[in-house]
Structure 1
Amino acid sequence: MLKLSSNSFGIFYMLIATLTFTLMQVCVRLVSENIHPIEIAFFRNFFGLLVVTPLFFRYSFSILKTNKLSWHFYRSILQTCGMLFFFTALTLSPLAQNVALSFTAPLFTVFLAIFLLGEKSDLKRWIALIIGFFGAWIVIRPGFNEVNLGSIFVICSSIVWAGSMTIIKFLSKTESSITLTVYMGLFMAPLSLVPAIFFWTWPGLEDLFYLFLVGFFGAAGHLALAGAFKSGDTGAVLPLDFLRLIWASILGYIIFSELPDNWTWVGGAIIFASATYIAIRELKNKN
């Protein structure tokens, strides 16, 4: 009987994660024809909260024990803002272009960690950062193309998400991943409801179906991503995150008749390669 390695399971989970995250973005685009993206973000977080609710039955309220409640709240604010930016961007610019630019989030995380957490950085790390941001310039091409508002929103979401990841680095020293997940769900649903009220439209049955899929695919993606990094080595599974750009290109073409240009592929590959190089190199240094 064929026995699969842990990396094989990690790769399988990563394939599922990249596909489900892309399907979530497709559903956001589809339902945005009738529902404002800010309201969509609320339903994404609402269904996400339903997903984490069973954790209370398994771990009781002990998972809420923390001495850093305010930091969980700050992180949730940033995460919510990042989601609002990104969901809005999905309605304004091509799917593949949004995904390509979203690869900048790890680069901004490294940048913030250097200046806010005082992490040391050598020349190779700085060169990788510069190359990665050059890749973003290639995708947007300011001065050669009219800068799309959606591209600006994706960059804004990456910066805000980088701030959230920086706080996670700080919290993960004392908090479990379960505590981080539960507080994210508890805070983000009400936080996203506040702006959603101003754009509220009661969804029809078809809209509710797509909104459910947004929440389902989003939750499934996070679970699969966690399984990927738990089962396989980071160096084996992380490079497969580039599949998000491939899925986005395929689904964007089939569903929305969007065909990404060569610059999106080149820039996206440069951004992703730089971010992956930094992540794997940092992991090797820690080990």
Structure 2
Amino acid sequence: MSGTVGIAASGGRSNFVHGLAWMALAMASFIGMSVGSRELAATLSIRQVLFFRALVGLVVILALGRALFPEVRRAARFRLHLWRNLIHFTAQYFWTVGVVLLPLASVFALEFTMPIWVTLFAWLLLKERLSGPRLLATAGGFLGVMVIVRPGLGMVDPAAILVLIAAAGYGLSMILVKQLTRHASAGVIVVWMILIQLPLGLVAALTDWRPVALTDVPWMLLAGLCALSAHYAMAQALRRLDASVLIPIDFLRVPLAALVGYVLYAEAVDLWVFLGGGIILLSNFQAVMAERRRVAG
């Protein structure tokens, strides 16, 4: 009996440690993707940045994901894949604009509004119930955004609005992914993401093509590989840890991004960003904990 309990406890600790490791990789990957994208945007257009990120993803899929091709050829729910990726591609464009124009910490703090958008779209499209905690989380998220952008104290940076639109796009994309998981594996969803967004990126890039130098290649690899590893690592972390554990850990991206922005780009540390981001974090966290208690009860 005691031996069984020891094994279970050991397994739980192992899952926790592995989950933290995957989460650390996800956070590092998101920040690496933002740095690679910003460096590329110094010499290339943002449309080229999106194209080369997808191109690196295609190379990785051709090398590692060929076993998924039979399922891809069936093209189940292709229209839904198409809509999801049109929305996701647009959101990526706005997010990358934010990465280029805003301090990195501000981008990641504003991106934390995504769970609020997911809740809204789940209510509108999936007819999921809007609970009291979710409504409070939405109100808290709105307050946090107001603290970060501080309207009335000067002109609101248009790039901040674009990041909020990107967060809404990511939220809607997640709802569509939730629908796609009923018909396709996670790997196939990623493959379709690359196959659809690569030609989208190419067409967009050709409208604003700039000369590509050999010095751009390392940043392409950083942005493209980190884009794939970020989503893969996050999925692995979610397999091992509850969302209620991951949300506060994931918020560490904000101070880490502030540190990277300070070291690499001499960006000033804005305490309002941390205050507003903290409000958004706590709003989401209390909603997740309330949902967890409801399910447990």
TM-score interval, smaller chain: over 0.9
- Does the CA contact (< 8 Å) of 1:72 and 1:180 recur in 2? yes
- So what's the TM-score if we normalise by structure 1? 0.93
Is the counterpart of residue 272 in structure 1 residue 243 in structure 2? Answer: no
Match of 2:33 in 1: 24
Q: RMSD value over aligned CA atoms?
A: 2.0
Q: 1:54 to 1:266 in 2, by over 3 A?
A: same
Question: Structure 1: how far apart are the matches of 2:292 and 2:217?
Answer: 42
The match for 2:267 among 258, 264, 267 is: 258
Q: Which has the larger radius of gyration?
A: 2
Q: Which residue does 1:163 correspond to in 2?
A: 172
Return the letter of the residue paired with 1:16: L
2:90 match: 81
CA distance in 1 between partners of 2:288 and 2:177 (Å):
16
User: Counterpart of 2:158?
Assistant: 149
Q: Distance in 1 between matches of 2:276 and 2:231?
A: 26
In 2, Cα distance between the equivalents of 1:18 and 1:264? Answer: 18
Decide whether aligned partners of structure 1 residues 48 and 275 sit closer, same or farther in structure 2, where only a CA change above 3 A counts: farther
**Which structure 1 segments of 5+ residues have no match?**
none
- Structure 2's unaligned 5+ residue stretches are 1-9
Structure 1 residue 2, shift from structure 2 partner: 11
**TM-superposition CA deviations, 1:121-178 (whole Å, max 9, x none):** 1222211111111101110011113211210110111111111111112222332212
Deviations 1:61-104, CA, capped at 9 Å, x for gaps: 12443531100000010110011111111111111111110111
Q: Is the 8 A contact 2:103 2:258 kept in 1?
A: no
- 1:38 match: 47
Residues 214-248 of structure 1, C-alpha deviations (whole Å, 9 max, x = no match): 11121221221122112333333332111211211
SS of the aligned residue for 1:127 comes to: helix
Letter in 1 for 2:17: S
Alignment of 1:230 with 2:202, yes or no, is no
SS in structure 1 at match of 2:251: helix
2:111 to 99, 102, 111: 102
TM-score (normalised: structure 2): 0.90
Give the aligned length: 287
Matched residue type, 2:283 = S
Query: Quick one: which amino acid aligns to residue 241 of structure 1?
Result: D
**2-side partners of 1:171 and 1:186: how far apart?**
16
1:268 positional shift: 0.8
